[in-house]
Amino acid sequence: MCLAIPGKIIEIDRSSSLCMATVDFGGVYKPICIQYIEADAGDYILAHAGMAITRLDPQEAEATLEDFKMLAEQLNPNGHVV
C-alpha cells in the first residue's frame, strides 16, 4: 500500500541537478524533489517517497490536512506521543 501526503512548499532550491523544495507537512519540514511537476513556493503538492507526484488545489489540500488532524486527535485524544 502506498500513502501520498499533502504538503505546502515553503521554498525551492534549483541550485543542483534536481529541483528540490522544502515542504511543510503539518510542522514537519522535509526536502522533496519537485523536478517533474510545475510548482512554486506556496503551492500544495502530493508527495510519496520523497517525490512530488502532483500539485494540489489549495482548498482540497487544506481539507485533507484538516481531516488528518481530526483523525490524529481521535486516535490520540490526550496528545501523548505513542
What is the pLDDT tens value at each position of the chain, 82 positions in all? Answer: 678 889 999 999 999 999 999 999 988 999 999 999 999 999 999 999 999 999 999 999 999 989 988 988 898 887 665 5
- pTM equals 0.85
pLDDT of residue 68: 86
Domains observed in the chain: 5-75 (2.30.30.140)
- Round the CA-based radius of gyration of the chain to a whole number and report it: 14
pLDDT of residue 26: 84
Q: Which of 62, 60, 2 is nearest to 51 (CA)?
A: 2
Encode 35-56: b = buried (16+ Cβ within 10 Å), e = exposed: eebebeeebbbbbeeebbeebb
Spatial separation of the C-alpha atoms in residues 49 and 8, rounded to whole Å: 16
